[in-house]
A and B are shown apart, each in its own frame.
Chain A
Amino acid sequence: MAEAVLKITENKNGSVMVLELAGEIDAHTAPILKESAEKKISEGNVKLVFNFANCTYISSAGIGVLNAILNSVKAKGGIIAVSEANKTITDTFKVMYFTKKVQLYIETAAAVKDLQ
């Protein structure tokens, strides 16, 4: 059985950085997400949208990274949002109370528009 893989591509829309996540986010791949997001923040991006359209799984390790990133960008006056999460991932966000902290969008374009 192959280990989980996570690929991240970036797409800048005005002042909003969209990180498109493809694969699974578990304790094995969460550090990839953390490194990528922290790099974008260090480059001055504090408005981040995480596009989950091609992401099939997230565990607490991934949500923990997002929670830390949220804190980091908020300290710099920024914000994060989640878009296009499937039913299972949306449920996981709810189970871990993350929907209290971050807005989930059906469409990435709507998230980008709101964060501009």
Chain B
Amino acid sequence: MNSGSFRSVTLINSLAELSRARAEVASFIDGHVPEMDASHIVLSVDEAVSNIMRHGYGENTDGVIILEMYSSDGSFKFTLSDTAPLYNPLEKISAQEEPADGAEGGFGIGVYRRFMDVRYEVSENGGNRLILKWEKNNENNESD
């Protein structure tokens, strides 16, 4: 376990950055969690970043997302900070809500809420901060 590890990545508001975000997360957790849990973590962060880009910043190409990754004693924490208009995704959909027939959106937030403990807060600079925490003993994890 890479106890106490930390990495920070700055993403610009471009969906082309999603691949880099996934690669950074995969690299950070590589070898420390079972394969399927790793897949869920990468997917969760991808969904959260994508949501900020599409619904937070939208067309604002000056937008930046700071992805900070922490590991400690078998747990991982991912903090996403942005300066998009205030938006709490946790007020929008539950983790178990099933998307309606034909719906193109509404899948992602439920996914990361299922696999991660998620908290939203307004940051010190007035922006959004989404905190996703993965615990080894989460009931939905493969490692249980």
Contact = CB atoms under 8 A, between A and B. Distances in A.
Interface in B80-99: 98-99
A54 interface: no
Given A1-B23, A28-B19, A88-B39, A59 B50 contact: yes
Contacts, number: 87
B104 A64 contact: yes
B124 interface: no
Interface residues on A, range: 20 to 34
Contacts of B47: 59-60
User: What does DSSP make chain B's interface, helix, strand, loop or mixed?
Assistant: helix
B18 A28 contact: yes
Interface residues on B, range: 20 to 34
Interface stretch (B56-64, B65-73, B105-113, B127-135): B105-113
Interface of B: 15-20, 22-24, 35-36, 39-40, 43, 46-47, 50, 53-54, 98-99, 101-108, 110-111, 114
